[in-house]
A = this chain, B = another copy of it.
Amino acid sequence: MKTIDLNCDLGESFGPYKIGMDESGIKFVTSANIACGWHAGDPVVMDRTVKMAADLGVGVGAHPGYPDLMGFGRRNMDCDLEDIQKYVLYQIGALQAFCRVHGVQLRHVKPHGALYSTAVKNESVARAVAQAIVKFDPDLLFVALAGAKGESMRRMGKELGLKVVYEAFPDRAYTPDGNLQLRSQPGAVVTDPDEVAERALRMAKEGVVIAVDGTTIPIEAQTLCVHGDTPTSLKLVGKIRQILEANNIKLQPMGL
């Protein structure tokens, strides 16, 4: 039986500020990437989110980012590589405290926002993130971009001995060479819910995606990234889940 993981960024509220629909969204996914208080999240939010994940059997992962709450970690910062490693260690450790409290295992690490996209482009940054993970716990899974462009990020993880989990995006268009279509291009985001669900199914079942030119290309992914921050996105995740289950794809946390 085929399996797939659905992962979602969660726990991004901060103090009085609510963002996302954690309580609703978490029910539809099998892995949660939980913000660690730097680009988003705070200890109260982290505690609550880890508890929800624990209660629902959702896999818990750290989602470390740059120290930039105002920019939500979405702006690249030219940080020293050693510093990045320590920043990631700090954030994983902070989240791990709440995993202990709620008796749940920390399973994966996925860098957030600009830290993720910079790791894709710059293998030194990918390596710094991977080194932090290895040093903290070499059994943690490293979530990295599937497709051609993610190759060096994934290689950095593997070179350091990490289990790398490949991530694809059912709501994003792919170019014929297996990369995400740039967001600046028309059609970069697929908006029709049925089409997105269909794409998720093909990714999970056949390991392929239909590229922007209509060709079918291979895409190896063990986890699909979905969003749960709006009523619309929630509905979409529900649809993805439904089609996967209807096709006997088992949904389970990455690495199980």
Q: Which A residues from 39 to 74 make CB contacts under 8 A with B?
A: 40, 42-44, 46-47, 67-72, 74
Asked whether A44 and B83 contact (CB < 8 A) given A14-B70, A68-B67, the answer is: yes
A236 at the binding interface (Cβ < 8 Å): no
Asked whether A68 and B72 contact (CB < 8 A) given A43-B89, A97-B136, A98-B89, the answer is: no
In angstroms, Cα B89 to Cα A86, docked, is: 19
Q: Which of A15-23, A220-228, A240-248 is the contact stretch?
A: A15-23
B67 and A101: CB pair below 8 A?
A: no
Query: Considering only CB atoms, which chain B residue lies closest to A74 in the complex?
Result: B16
B86 and A75: CB pair below 8 A?
A: no
The smallest C-beta distance from A76 to any residue of chain B, in angstroms, reads 4
A213 at the binding interface (Cβ < 8 Å): no
In angstroms, Cα B137 to Cα A92, docked, is: 17
- Complex contacts, A90 vs chain B, CB 8 Å: 37, 43, 46, 94, 97-98
Asked whether A114 and B43 contact (CB < 8 A) given A90-B94, A93-B98, the answer is: no
A183 at the binding interface (Cβ < 8 Å): no
- Complex contacts, A79 vs chain B, CB 8 Å: 71, 75
Task: Give how many copies assemble into the complex.
Answer: 4
- Complex contacts, A75 vs chain B, CB 8 Å: 77-79
The smallest C-beta distance from A18 to any residue of chain B, in angstroms, reads 8
B98 and A43: CB pair below 8 A?
A: no
A86 and B47: CB pair below 8 A?
A: yes
Asked whether A97 and B101 contact (CB < 8 A) given A15-B69, A15-B72, A17-B17, the answer is: no
- Complex contacts, A69 vs chain B, CB 8 Å: 14-15, 69
B46 and A86: CB pair below 8 A?
A: yes
In angstroms, Cα B70 to Cα A86, docked, is: 13
A43 and B97: CB pair below 8 A?
A: no
A96 at the binding interface (Cβ < 8 Å): yes
The smallest C-beta distance from A64 to any residue of chain B, in angstroms, reads 10
A100 at the binding interface (Cβ < 8 Å): yes
- Complex contacts, A97 vs chain B, CB 8 Å: 89-90, 92-94, 96, 136
Which residue numbers of A lie inside 8 Å of B, CB to CB?
Answer: 14-19, 37, 40, 42-44, 46-47, 67-72, 74-79, 82-83, 86-87, 89-98, 100-101, 114, 135-137
